[in-house]
Each structure stands twice: as structure tokens, then as C-alpha cells.
Amino acid sequence: MRYVVPLMISIVIFVLLLDIISFKYLDKTSENLNKMLTAVQQNIEKGHWEEAKKNIEKAEKEWKKIDKKWAILIEHREIDEIEINMEKLKSYVETKNKDLSMAQLKAIKMLIRHIPQNEKPILENIL
Amino acid sequence: MLILFFRTLILYALVVIFMRISGKQQIGQLQPYELVVAIMIADLVAIPMQNKGIPLLSGIIPVLTLLVSQLFLSYLSMKSLRARAIICGTPTILVENGKILTSQLQKERYNINDLLEELRVKGYPNIADVEYAILETNGSLSVIPKSNKRPVTPQDLNLTPQYEGLPLPIIIDGRIMHQNMQKAGIDMEWLNEQLKMWKIQNVKEVLFASLDTNKVLTVYRKEG
């Protein structure tokens, strides 16, 4: 019986720490990715398609670095969704379609921003 | 992570409350309709517990619904004999006057090995010793042995043993149960004197102490 209370406390602390660390990681990486996508957005707005393509490749590289770690923390369905939308964006940029690429870009940004929000331990998420 | 932690806590509390409300029957011997609830609850709660995409309410509402239906069925089976027979079934006699009723065994899909196994568990390895064996509605087997095979009771020997009553716990885990002391009509002075006789300085050293109806205090010390 002597180990029950310490075990309980250590499990709670472990969950708390894991939550804080994973939330911070998701928040930081998603912000990073969002910044890269904002650069792409500016390129598209100005009609610099070649720049936009390069920036998308950069963002994709960054995404490849983090997606495996994200897979440990969030639902895989969400990761798949981001990947599908990324591919769509790439082809829209290649065909230089401004309207569609802007719409696609905003959708990806929303998806990425939405993920750390979803992991926040607030009442709305708990219920 | 924390979201899952809190969701699990909420649902666990809900199931514990459910089990408390649905009565003590639930824990020990389940009637068929109670078993159904127990199986369903395990599954219903497990899914929203781990899937954050499902709102918690879709776990809570089915559990509450099951609680209401279970309370309704147990109320019905308490009030009406016919309903009780339908919901819980009726006990089946498998052995009558020392004779195995094979038709009843077949009806309950209870084979002779099951019967022998249960009889052995109940302490009757020889079927010839059994007068009656009754399969209860919760699936347990009641065995009534032949009168010459049952253990001897004081009445058989024409003895009148002393009244024993219920021993009262006086100290549990180092804490004095003042209410029980009042019931037994003893005071602190008497208790301290008794503890001194057991060579105990502090109540905290005691794991358990009980008082029987002859006012004899038995003390169990904590280890180490």
C-alpha cells in the first residue's frame, strides 16, 4: 500500500508533463508551418508562381520532418487531411490558378492552426 | 493527453455511480438482464473514452438510458411475480429426491459434467449424497444434501450453545469507533485498561480490535 500514493502522483505528473510538452511542440511547429504558408500566400497574391512553388517545397520539407512526431500525438485522419490538401495546393500552384490555390492555402492554414487548439485541455474539448 | 485523462475520469465516475445505484446484486450475482447491462456498459463507455471526436454526451446518454431501463426492470420484477418469472426466469430443479432429471438438464443446456463439477465445487463429490440440486436464476447451483449426509448441527446433538451475536469493531486502522463503543456500552477508561493489558501504548499501533458479546476485546497489532 505504501507505493499507491506516490504511484498515483507520478502518473498524474507524467500525464501533465506529457500534455504540456506535446501541446507546446504542436503549437510551435504549427506556427512555424503557418509562417511558411503565409510566405506562399504572399507569393501567390503577387503572382510570383516560381517563388510560391519553392516556398511550398520548403514547407513540405518541414512538414515531412514533423509529420511522424505529430502522428504520435494527434489523430492520423487529421494528418492525412493536411497531406491531401497539400497535394491539391501543389497542383493548383503548378497550373497557376490563383483563386483555387488561395482557397486551398487558407484551408491548409486553418487545418494546421486548428490542431493545437484541439489538443488544449479546455472544457469544450473535454466534453 | 489531458483531455483523455479528464474524459476517462468523468466516465469512470459515471460507471461507479451507475453500479452503486443499480444495487448490490450487480456486483455479486447477476441476473440475465443485469449481465446484459454490464456487457453493454463496458463497450459504450470505452469508445467515447478514447475517441475525442465523439462528444462525451454520446457516452453518457446511453449509460443513463441503460440505468433507467435497468431500474425499471428491477422495479417491475420486484412488484410483479409474473414479470419476475419472465425477466429473471424461474429456478430449475436438476436433481429431485436423489434422481437426476435429464429433461430439465436438457432444457437448461446443462450437461452432466457441468452438474458434477458444480456439485464438487459445493463439496458433494458423490451425487448419491444429494437430495436436491436447484439451478438458480443467476446460474448458481444450490445443493441440498440428503439428511444423513449433511454436517451435524448442535440441534442434532441436543446442545444449546451460548448466544454469540455480532462482534463489534472497536478500533479499525488505529482509529477508535466511538459509535460502536457507545453501542457496546464501554468507555475510554475501560478501553485504555484493556489496551494496557495487551501492552499497547498508542491506539495507532492497533490494526483491528473487536469486542464480542462477552465483553472480551481481541486486538490485532500492525506489523513492524
pLDDT in tens, A25-61: 889 999 888 888 888 888 888 878 888 888 888 888 8
Mutate: best of B2, B4, B8, partner A, most A CBs <10 A = B2
pLDDT tens digits, residue range B164-213? 788 889 999 888 888 888 888 888 888 888 888 888 888 888 899 998 88
Cβ of B55 and A15 within 8 Å?
A: no
Residue among B34, B33, B24, B51 at smallest CA distance from B11? B51
B223 vs A: CB within 8 A? no
Give ipTM to 2 decimals.
0.71
State the cell numbers at A91.
Answer: 497542383
Same domain, yes or no, for B97 and B172?
Answer: no
How deeply is B206 buried, as exposed, middle or buried, from its count of CB atoms within 10 A (0-12, 13-18, 19+)? buried
Report the number of distinct structural domains present in chain A: 1
Q: Cβ contacts (< 8 Å) between A125 and chain B: which residues?
A: 3, 52
Asked if the structure places residue B154 within a domain, the reply is no
CATH number of the domain within which B192 lies:
3.30.240.20
A87 vs B: CB within 8 A? no
Summarize the confidence of residues B10-36 as an average pLDDT. 78
Report the number of distinct structural domains present in chain B: 3
Asked if the structure places residue B162 within a domain, the reply is no
pLDDT tens digits, residue range B72-93? 888 888 888 888 888 888 899 9
Q: Would you give the end-to-end CA distance of chain A in angstroms?
A: 34
Domain of residue B116 covers 92-145
From residue B39, give the alpha-carbon distance in Å to each of B36, B46, B104, B168.
5, 11, 28, 38
Domain of residue A95 covers 3-125
